[in-house]
Structure 1
Amino acid sequence: MITKDRRLTLSYIFSVIKQSLNGEQQDYTQGSIRKAIFLLAIPMILELSLESVFAVVDMFFVSKLGQNAITTVGLTESVITIVYSIAIGLSTAATAMVARRIGEKNPEAAAHAGAQSMLIALLATLLVSIAGMVYAGEILALMGANEEVVRDGAIFTRIMLGGSVAIMLLFLINGIFRGAGDAAMAMKSLWIASIINIILCPLLIHFFGLKGAAIATVIGRSTGVLYQCYHLFKGSGILKFYRHHFKLNPGITKSIVAIAWPATFQFIIASGSWIILTRLVAETGGTAASAGYQIAFRNFVFFILPAWGLSNAAATLVGQNLGAGQIQRAERSVLLTARYNAILMSFVMVLFLFFSAPIVAVFTQDVEVARYGTQALQIIGSGFIFYAVGMVMIQAFNGAGDTRTPTVINFVCFWLFQVPLAYLLALGLDMDSTGAFIAIPAAESLIACVAWYYFKKGNWKQVKV
């Protein structure tokens, strides 16, 4: 029998969920911190969860094309993480500046900052797209792909890198929405992109092979961008863009770049380390190890993106509350979010430790590929609680506009610790690909500890944006 108190609790929970998905304008600098976290986090988790569903669905259909196709997608995604790094770097700057201006109750300045960040993004993407389209085959070869993979996969890589403007704008504009506290709009745009991807992916793979997966991705993300732009220019949200916002403002663009370049390098450092580990796995374990690792990595992404949702909620709360002068509220928001994230990821850790084999079996029947994939998933999954805490701390710095501290942390923990450790274990101690797998949770655990230390020092509270 359901008691009255329980009915009231369930009613409250459903009302919060409904409120978060409706995208109603909220003041996150007042009221319950717990409610503010969930109002932001629920759409952010759903937003990134569907993106991660697509990543897994995409790998499911691509895996039917064989080891070469899996390897091509994995190697291309490793390179595209550089595009993601630039997009996330600019998105981080946009979120910090928009959130700070919204906290100051100045939506006009927030819109101006968002528009200026879009101009910078378009220029950066043009350079990346041209390089990717011209040198697609060479990029795959540089990543350690054999001649057969380069021959079959170059067109996939060319389409994906050529369409990187959609990746850039999708992430950037969602960062603008999140900074404004409109997490529901960010969720809807990524849902549209992902649903179209999921529908088109098997159809286009059937007709065009591997390149069909790339075409589906570009079409889906481009549609999401069109939806975002409609609401920025024609919508009724707190942010409304006009033509004059796109008139180049050197002062604002300088501020955006000052925040964005460390954030961009922050993610380039992290993604660069992943690229090196991807190549190390291919060199020491061959195509089977590489394919198994890519399956494990896609599943890792599937389960880690909801944690990113909670972390992004912390970034918005930090930025808006600092803008409103609510410093202690900003700190409490981060600590509470970190607790929730650790609880969520502890369940994922248990799942990966004990159920990796059946998870990997969904994607491949190749015994050797499955063996590598299961091992990678178990080892990587052992550090999920540390991933959860570290992600919240890093995003708290970013939300405050202190992008340099996490950049230094990433450089030390990834390049001075993870990469040398991976090579020591893989080659020095003859552990091969297993050594590379072990280096991942080791480095992420170190990041969590160091980030926690610097967060408690509190220098991020003094950053001006």
Structure 2
Amino acid sequence: MRSEKVEAMREQILNGPIVKTLILLAYPLIINQLVQVLYNLTDTFWLGKLGRTELSAPGTAWPLVWFFMSIGMGFATAGFAFVSQYVGAREYDKANRAAGALYSLMLIFATAVGITGVLLAPQLLHLMNVSDTIYPYALSYTRVIFGGIPFSFTLFAFNFLLRAVGDTKTPVKINIATVILNIILDPLFIFGWGPFPELGVVGAAIATMLSNTAGSIVGGYLLFTGKVGIHITPETLKPDFNFYSRIFRVGLPASIGSSTTALGFVILTRVIFTIGKLYGQAHGIPNFEDVAFATYSITNRLTNFMFAFSDGISMAMGTMVGQAIGAKLYDRAKTIAEKTMVINFTILGVGTLLFIFFRVPIFRFFINDPAVIAESAKVVKYFSASLPFFGIFAAVNNVFQSAGQTKKSMVLGMVRLWGIRLPLSYGLGVLMRDTAGMWLGMGLSNVIGAVVALAWFLRGSWMKAIIEE
């Protein structure tokens, strides 16, 4: 580890002005999040040119991919907490060993996930109650994405490790390059421009897989050559079962929490298709469940664009909180988190207003479908006002994860999704006999979840280091 660079960043994080340091760390992460959103918007834009069913294919695939990836990402969260706290405590050799152990663990796990996902994709899509019209597109897209999971995983691990030491710029450069590559490859493989075959939905998946692979290779090269703050060597990659046990102890709750959250979104997809099918007759539109899910897919992409700003700030806060806890500066960690919540709420409040005012042209940009645009009016009326509250929830969740208090994060995520969102989305959908109830349930889960998260945060039980064990 290049301790001079890391030491300088550590000093800035622990003793510099909070908001200025937060912005310094956050702006590359915000760019990075926007780049990832652009990744998804590119697929949505081009597939929208093919039709409503093709546009919906990635939206059905990603909850499944996220479910399997989230199991490993829980351990990546634990690794981030260890590395950032070791840096805060000036234990740089231990930080490198933790990084190597995490990287090798992620690679092994991701390979197993990829094989499992390819084999089980048909059964999983049937579990989601995917409509017959969308199913063939979703199946082919899902299998290709699962095939590229090992590269996606190692690219995520690279991002986590560099963020832990305060380097938020290098991952952005790599991710921007991968998105540019994806933007170039998408129409080539989807429409068969030039010498490329016309592959439709499968082409979008191949473009995504190839782009992630290129990013993963570059990230791995930087880690293994020591050209970034973390230096992984064959020695640090060797199995360290003592450290693995610590990663599993801290990471298991995070894995359970993130995977049950991801599974919750798989079930939410089933709820959307079910409510759309049950009460679509009132709209007089055939296959109204496809309309409901297409609206959800576009809404999800748009909210991800808004969350790019708040998520970037929350992740920067996570680096600062993790290092502050490692240095036992608990009051500073609390102040950092509180200021982040205020900033997030403000940003998402402004974004929500823009979303409300420009809803029609935004949706029409992706697909000029009157039924989808009409359904989006319910999104504005019943769901959009809850988005600023999610900024508070996300910040608290990130505080718990960065502190290594993964059990708290696990419970918080499960309460919001399984205890509030799923019951309310389905229950209100049935009660109101309309998809409006489903959107209202989603919105209420953000508001109630934020209140619960803030109350738990203020108790202060998260303010202790895990590296003291």
TM-score by length of 1: 0.91
Query: Whole-Å Cα distance in 1 between the matches of residues 69 and 450 of structure 2?
Result: 22
Query: Whole-Å Cα distance in 2 between the matches of residues 395 and 278 of structure 1?
Result: 25
8 Å contact kept, 1:262–1:407: yes
Query: Whole-Å Cα distance in 1 between the matches of residues 405 and 296 of structure 2?
Result: 33
SS in 2 for 1:459: coil
Q: 1:295 aligns with which of 295, 298, 320?
A: 298
Matched residue, 2:9: 26
Matched residue, 1:246: 237
Query: Whole-Å Cα distance in 1 between the matches of residues 228 and 107 of structure 2?
Result: 24
Overall identity of the aligned pairs, in %? 28
Q: CA deviation at 1:374?
A: 4.0
Q: 2:176 aligns with which of 179, 186, 191?
A: 191
Query: How big is each residue's C-alpha offset from its partner over 1:253-304, in whole Å with a ceiling of 9 and x where there is no partner?
Result: 1111222221122222322222222211112211111112111111111221
Q: 1:381 aligns with which of 381, 384, 390?
A: 384
Q: Are 1:166 and 2:151 counterparts?
A: yes
**1:52-451 to 2 correspondence within 5 Å?**
52-207=37-192, 208-285=199-276, 286-376=289-379, 379-427=382-430, 429-451=431-453
Q: CA deviation at 1:114?
A: 1.2
Summarize the Cα distance change of 1:433–1:320 in structure 2 as closer, same or farther, 3 Å threshold.
Answer: same
For 1:93, give the aligned amino acid: A
Summarize the Cα distance change of 1:424–1:335 in structure 2 as closer, same or farther, 3 Å threshold.
Answer: same
Query: Whole-Å Cα distance in 1 between the matches of residues 363 and 435 of structure 2?
Result: 17
SS in 2 for 1:460: coil
SS in 2 for 1:461: coil
SS in 1 for 2:15: coil
8 Å contact kept, 1:87–1:172: no
Q: CA deviation at 1:379?
A: 3.4
Q: CA deviation at 1:237?
A: 2.8
Q: CA deviation at 1:361?
A: 1.0
SS in 1 for 2:169: helix
Query: Whole-Å Cα distance in 1 between the matches of residues 32 and 56 of structure 2?
Result: 27
Summarize the Cα distance change of 1:40–1:87 in structure 2 as closer, same or farther, 3 Å threshold.
Answer: farther
Matched residue, 1:7: none
Query: Whole-Å Cα distance in 1 between the matches of residues 358 and 6 of structure 2?
Result: 36
Q: CA deviation at 1:176?
A: 0.8
SS in 1 for 2:14: coil
Q: Which is worse superposed, 429-438 or 305-314?
A: 429-438
Query: Whole-Å Cα distance in 2 between the matches of residues 114 and 407 of structure 1?
Result: 23
Query: Whole-Å Cα distance in 2 between the matches of residues 126 and 377 of structure 1?
Result: 41
Query: Whole-Å Cα distance in 2 between the matches of residues 454 and 362 of structure 1?
Result: 41
Query: How big is each residue's C-alpha offset from its partner over 1:328-353, in whole Å with a ceiling of 9 and x where there is no partner?
Result: 11111111111211111111111122
TM-score by length of 2: 0.90
Summarize the Cα distance change of 1:241–1:57 in structure 2 as closer, same or farther, 3 Å threshold.
Answer: same
For 1:307, give the aligned amino acid: S
For 1:442, give the aligned amino acid: L
SS in 1 for 2:231: coil
8 Å contact kept, 2:69–2:113: no
Query: Whole-Å Cα distance in 1 between the matches of residues 464 and 137 of structure 2?
Result: 52
Q: Which is worse superposed, 268-277 or 400-409?
A: 268-277
Summarize the Cα distance change of 1:152–1:321 in structure 2 as closer, same or farther, 3 Å threshold.
Answer: closer
Query: Whole-Å Cα distance in 1 between the matches of residues 55 and 150 of structure 2?
Result: 24
Q: CA deviation at 1:98?
A: 0.7
8 Å contact kept, 2:131–2:273: no
SS in 2 for 1:135: helix
Q: Superposition RMSD on alpha carbons, in Å?
A: 1.9
Q: CA deviation at 1:87?
A: 4.4
Query: Whole-Å Cα distance in 1 between the matches of residues 120 and 239 of structure 2?
Result: 32
For 1:357, give the aligned amino acid: V
For 2:408, give the aligned amino acid: T
Q: CA deviation at 1:434?
A: 1.8
Query: How big is each residue's C-alpha offset from its partner over 1:64-94, in whole Å with a ceiling of 9 and x where there is no partner?
Result: 1112212222111121121342343233112
8 Å contact kept, 2:69–2:110: no
Q: CA deviation at 1:59?
A: 0.3
Matched residue, 2:460: 458
8 Å contact kept, 2:318–2:398: yes
SS in 2 for 1:444: helix
Summarize the Cα distance change of 1:156–1:167 in structure 2 as closer, same or farther, 3 Å threshold.
Answer: same
**1:34-49 to 2 correspondence within 5 Å?**
34-49=19-34
Summarize the Cα distance change of 1:379–1:85 in structure 2 as closer, same or farther, 3 Å threshold.
Answer: farther
Query: Whole-Å Cα distance in 2 between the matches of residues 158 and 25 of structure 1?
Result: 44
Q: CA deviation at 1:95?
A: 1.4
Query: Whole-Å Cα distance in 2 between the matches of residues 235 and 118 of structure 1?
Result: 14
Summarize the Cα distance change of 1:261–1:349 in structure 2 as closer, same or farther, 3 Å threshold.
Answer: same
8 Å contact kept, 2:74–2:251: yes
Summarize the Cα distance change of 1:46–1:56 in structure 2 as closer, same or farther, 3 Å threshold.
Answer: same
Summarize the Cα distance change of 1:335–1:397 in structure 2 as closer, same or farther, 3 Å threshold.
Answer: same
